[in-house]
Amino acid sequence: MAHERLTLHPSCCRTPVGMKWTLKLVAEVVPGKAMEHEVATIERIEEFSPATVGLTISEGKAILAGLQKQMVTAQVQHHCASIQSCPGCGRAFRTKGYYHSTLRSVYGNVDMRIRRLRGCSCTDSQPSSFSAVFTSRNPTTPELKYLTAKLACCRSVTVVDFLV
Ligand SMILES: [Zn+2]
């Protein structure tokens, strides 16, 4: 039995160029109401090679940053809207305004638009106004704090080892 000879024809065996992937996030912030958001688009116009197969580091980071932005924005909006009335007397809180804050996280910084509420007059203990979310002006997630501290520790060890 004769072996078939496999012949590669470069012109017909090349991967077609111009491939595109669109990554969409389906968010269900309100149960039963799904909303679709485009997170990232990845294109390959180069020929297939080890450098173009799969995700690059920068594409992976961009996807996670886009996902983080969508999640944080939705969570902040949902939380701010959920604070509606004073637990002491039941009167509706009035909005004093909005301010911008930046959440620093492992997956990137996210700008947040945060609602500020007028305090209720039913008690003397409430401030004249307060933020609808955690109070730090530019909060950092615990994971980023942990990784930053760990990296700082590793850096100092490396420097010390190098000097000895
Ligand atoms: Zn009240």
What pTM did the predictor assign?
A: 0.77
Q: How far is the CA of 148 from the centre of ligand 1 (A)?
A: 41
**Mean pLDDT across 123-134:** 82
Residue 88 clears pLDDT 90, i.e. is over it: no
What residue spans define the domains of the chain? 10-163
98 — pLDDT class (breaks 50, 70, 90): very high
Which residue carries 């804050």 as its tokens?
101
For 48-107, the three-class secondary structure string (H helix, E strand, C coil) is CCCCCCCCCHHHHHHHHHHHHHHHHHHHHHHHHHHCCECCCCCCECCEEEEEEEEEEECC
Q: How far apart are CA 126 and CA 120, in angstroms?
A: 7
Give the separation between CA 63 and CA 86, rounded to whole angstroms.
39
161: its two tokens = 């080892």
For ligand 1, the distance from its centroid to the CA atom of residue 102, given in whole angstroms, is: 30
What is the 139 CA–ligand 1 centroid distance (Å)?
28
Residues 91 and 117 sit within 8 Å (Cβ to Cβ)? no
d(CA 81, CA 93): 11
